[in-house]
Amino acid sequence: MTYKVLAAALAVSMVTSPTIAKGTTDQKSQKAEASVDTQKYCIKFDDITGTRISRQECRTKKQWADEGVQVDRKNSS
């Protein structure tokens, strides 16, 4: 009797596993889409004479665009 209950529980879990896995994939893709809007782009500026502290600013793509900086353009150097 115990084996029948165990076999039934195992069968149910095997049937529902693909459904659960699909749900987590959808959640991951939604998170990936949301992270595109919040992804930060960091720009390191040239060192200032007289200091050893480097300057770096991190902003979203939209924030850089508001400042007139194109983050998609590759560095030519």
Residue 43's nearest CA partner among 66, 21, 70, 17 is 70
Q: What Cα–Cα distance (Å) separates residue 59 from each residue in 4, 71, 72?
A: 59, 10, 13
Question: How far, in Å, CA of 39 to CA of 1, rounded?
Answer: 55
Over the chain (77 residues), what is each successive 10-residue block's mean pLDDT? Answer: 59 56 65 73 86 89 90 69
Q: Where are the alpha helices (DSSP H) in 39-76?
A: 61-66
In this structure, are residues 56 and 49 in contact, taking their beta carbons and an 8 Å threshold?
no
**What was the pLDDT predicted at 66?**
93
